[in-house]
Amino acid sequence: MASNVLQVIPLGGLGEFGMNSLALRYGDDIVVIDAGMMFPEDELPGVDIVTPDFSYLVQNRQHVRALILTHGHEDHIGAVPFLLAELNLPVYGTPFTLALVERRLEEHELETQPELHPVRPGDRIRIGPFQVEFIHVTHSMVHCVALAITTPLGVVIHTGDFKIDPTPTDNELFDLHSLADYGRRGVLLLLSDSTNVDRPGYTESERAVRPRFEDILNRAERRVVVSCFSSSIHRIQQLVDLAVEFRRRVAFVGRSMLHVTEIAHSLGLLRIPNGLLLRPQDIMQAPPSKVLVLIAGSQGEPMSALYRVAVDDHRYLSVEQGDTVVLSARIIPGNEKAIYRMINHLARRGADIWYGAMNPPVHVSGHGSQEELKLMLNLVRPRYFVPIHGEYRQLARHVSLAAHLRDQGLEEAFVLETGETLVIDERGARKGERVPVGRVCIDSGSLDEVVEDVVIRDRRHLSEDGFVLPIIAIDKHTGKTEGTPEIVSRGFVAAEDGSGLLERARKVVLRTLESSTPEERADWGLMKEKIRTDLRRFIARETSRRPLIVPVILEV
């Protein structure tokens, strides 16, 4: 392409939530900003995660210079292993972000060890024709940055995810001065987070949750169990500080909660006094009034730590009559049913449950509301504006918020969707040609399980390994199993060869049912996942094959 043209290429995250990834190209040089994933919707059965299709970058591999990360949330770093499996790129990010990336890379065991370059706010790096300055912003996790990318045509500001928190818990203020300085000198293009564009006013400070937690801990006479995103180190720090104040010991429960807090503590981002921590296996032996548990699973994932606790199937923790459970996280759209099922289970245990909207809140967003988005626009005063991170309605709403800048130098605002490009040259900005984009559906989260089309994946899956249908009849009210499970298979084993295998598979399903509580058996979503997991493990061990397993639970 022409050497004096700047191209903005959204690879994911525009017109959809998650999979945030965007490329900037000037001449023959490309830098990639973020590589995120999203969780599948209901119409993608058998898919574990969804990542952007990086075909454009692979086709132009000789021009791709680096991957730059704004922060460590999964919708911004979740696809990094899959991109690095295709392209050996240097990766730039803050220390906490790179520590989370390293943990993901260890799970995938790439052939070549990628170059990870830690940066801090205020650092400047040069990548080909791009000079990148990292600017500190406040968000719902630590070590988040916006990017000021100086190109031969002008400065591009990419905000990453942000809110403008005037009283952050770590006292690291949002660097408004650097953004304002760029605004005074002139900004060619602003790419700004649109997640909360529908919310009027300002997003509350992270400190706003403290009064509610003080109230909860004042009231609670027994254990307090709090579930939040494991990456919410600011919130975890507040809870640790309150535990000291209320003379409770703290236990971290759940794999992600343990891993992320270990990383944050090792980097000096989480302060934990000596003697405060309680081992998970010691929770039930400690006096209930002296325990605060921080646990993963706020989104109701069927096999998460909190869900296991909710159905009384966790090896270290049981919720008992009079315990307090707090869901300190927003309900991600699509997770409502699973979360409310989990809350119902906790209520059956006799827990006092706090969740949802209340004042003071148990959760505040990490994204800026309308007034903060306007402030960003007013500080930067760009020549061109493209909203990012959101569905189409939110991108369009964000463009309308910028209308007041028409008299202050804003020439045009563009609503782009994933795959639509913006071209900027000496003549101005305009939409360019589309690039190939799409979704890659990944089964079991391993690099050799990547599939580009879920329909093709299912057809190949069925043609090669067939399918297995365990059919179980459960009384919805009592949770009791009626009769014995039936196993139906097609394209897996011949009837005369597989009768013994299917009989053993039936026993596996029976063991799963028998080892589950009546309450678990009444939760169809949980039981399907447990049966699928146990049966998949058994069949893989016995046959080294992976048929499509679709448990069917009949209500009787």
Which residues have a catalytic role annotated?
Answer: 193, 367
Q: What is the rounded distance in angstroms from the CA atom of residue 468 to the CA atom of residue 531?
A: 12
Show Cβ contacts of residue 550 under 8 Å, excluding neighbours closer than 6 positions.
Answer: 45, 467, 468, 469
The owner of tokens 């830098």 is 31
Q: How far is CA 428 from CA 153, 222, 270, 288, 393, in A?
A: 10, 64, 47, 65, 26
Q: How far is CA 524 from CA 342, 383, 472, 551, in A?
A: 12, 54, 10, 10
Question: Residue 502: enclosing H or E segment and its boundaries?
Answer: helix 495-514
Q: What is the rounded distance in angstroms from the CA atom of residue 303 to the CA atom of residue 425?
A: 51
Q: Could you count the other beta carbons within 10 Å of the beta carbon of residue 448?
A: 8
Angle between helices 392-401 and 370-380 (to 10 degrees): 60
- Residue 273 preceded by cis peptide, ω within 30: no
Q: Could you count the other beta carbons within 10 Å of the beta carbon of residue 167?
A: 12
Coil vs helix vs strand at 72: coil
Q: What is the rounded distance in angstroms from the CA atom of residue 373 to the CA atom of residue 274?
A: 41
Q: What is the rounded distance in angstroms from the CA atom of residue 487 to the CA atom of residue 245?
A: 56
E strands present in 43-143: 49-52, 64-68, 91-93, 116-118, 124-127, 130-137
**Of 47, 52, 44, residue with least CA distance to 19:** 52
In degrees, rounded to 5, the angle at the alpha carbon of residue 190 between the alpha carbons of residues 193 and 372 is 45
φ/ψ (deg, to 5) at 296: -80, 160
**Of 207, 203, 204, 145, residue with least CA distance to 171:** 207
Q: What is the rounded distance in angstroms from the CA atom of residue 389 to the CA atom of residue 139?
A: 14
Q: Are 472 and 456 in contact (CB under 8 A)?
A: no
Question: Residue 215: enclosing H or E segment and its boundaries?
Answer: helix 210-219
Report how far Cα 338 is from the mean position of its chain's Cα atoms: 17
Q: What is the rounded distance in angstroms from the CA atom of residue 390 to the CA atom of residue 76?
A: 13
DSSP for residue 401? H
The residue length of the chain stands at 556
